[in-house]
Structure 1
Amino acid sequence: MRNLQVKEQKVKELTEKFQKAQAAILTSYIGITVEEDTELRKNMREAGIEYKVVKNTLTLRAAKEAGYGEIEKYLVGPVAIAFGYDDPTAPARVLANFADKHKAIELKAGIVQGQIFDTQKVNELSKIPPREVLIAKVLGSFKAPLSNLVYVLNAVKEKKEANA
């Protein structure tokens, strides 16, 4: 295969990833050690996130084909992309948690459910708990009033039984 064909194939694959992903977070990784990179990739795999380092020219071509050409201004220096297909908050959260411990990682921007997010928005997104935690909180908020209602009804029943 010729070099041009290889590049065209990579652009095609990246375009599909941009279109399929719930979130694609761009990050700078200058100064990260091999051990840190291995740890980051392991964290990404465990969270179901695909982490890729791709040339900026190929990334820009794929982003433009997917309709996200505006990310061009964030493609400066070495950039890696974290693709999340299930949970749109997961890539930002995993990267932000890693960046807290390893200052070489810097969140640059992202594409989240079709919208371009700048660094500030990506950082805000990283603070949203996982979907399962949010569901548990909602269910917990339903459970508390129901538990109180059961407690009150039980108290009324016991009071009536005591009076009878």
Structure 2
Amino acid sequence: MDRGEKKQCVASLADVFKTTSVVVVARYSGLNVAQMQALRKQMRAAGAQVQVAKNRLVKIAVQGTEATSISELMRGPTLIAYSNDPVAAPKVAVAFAKDNDKLVILGGVMGTTALNIDAIRSLATLPSLDELRAKLIGLIQAPATKLAQLTTAPATKLARVFAAYGGKDAA
């Protein structure tokens, strides 16, 4: 990797640290190519990304950003997983680490807050932004649906009474 490529890599990593909401750092020593591809595929499906970069370049890229706390985690073969959704990357990383013991989550950062392993696991248990939006829309729509049911209920009951009287006369 020549100097120009390194500058480009540092610039792209700095952009990642400035724009994403959560970054997870994990050690991937011992994962084979198929397992790494499976991890990348799962991350992509969740709206997150995985990147393996040189630790030295990551340490340079985090300088001047809110993610400076992860520079101490960058030792050995590490990868970074990041997403704009605060729960997407931690959720996939924790689920993948349960299945593959060779992926070890070291920590991460969310905004200016440094995350330890327990914080990342608790983030992974939270519902995603899409799930929260769906619940919120359901809560907003529920009163309108119940109101519509209440307005049609008296007419329905009245129709049943008329039908019962009509059936009584025919008998």
TM class by shorter chain equals: 0.7 to 0.9
Is the 2:69–2:109 Cα contact (8 Å) retained in structure 1?
no
- What is aligned with 1:95? 93
Is the 2:25–2:70 Cα contact (8 Å) retained in structure 1?
no
Compare CA radii of gyration and give the structure with the larger one. 2
- What is aligned with 1:107? 105
Q: Which stretch shifts more, 101-110 or 41-50?
A: 41-50
Kindly provide the CA deviation profile for residues 26-46 of structure 1, in whole angstroms up to 9, marking residues without a partner as x: 111122122111111122233
The Cα of 1:65 is off from its aligned counterpart by 3.0
| Partner Cα distance (1:47, 1:105) in 2 | 18
| Partner Cα distance (2:12, 2:64) in 1 | 11
Kindly provide the CA deviation profile for residues 4-30 of structure 1, in whole angstroms up to 9, marking residues without a partner as x: 443333222211111122222111112
1:94 counterpart letter in structure 2: V
Which runs of structure 2 are paired with 1:141-160 in the superposition (5 Å)? 141-159=139-157
- What is aligned with 1:46? 45
Unaligned 5+ segments in structure 2 are: 163-171
- What is aligned with 2:23? 24
What secondary structure is seen at the aligned counterpart in 2 of 1:94? helix
C-alpha RMSD of the superposition: 2.4
Is the 2:87–2:124 Cα contact (8 Å) retained in structure 1?
yes
Superposition TM-score, scaled by structure 1 size: 0.82
Which runs of structure 2 are paired with 1:1-150 in the superposition (5 Å)? 3-84=2-83, 86-150=84-148
The Cα of 1:159 is off from its aligned counterpart by 4.5
The Cα of 1:76 is off from its aligned counterpart by 2.8
- What is aligned with 2:165? none
Superposition TM-score, scaled by structure 2 size: 0.79
The Cα of 1:160 is off from its aligned counterpart by 5.6
What percent identity do the matched residue pairs reach?
Answer: 27
Unaligned 5+ segments in structure 1 are: none
1:90 counterpart letter in structure 2: A
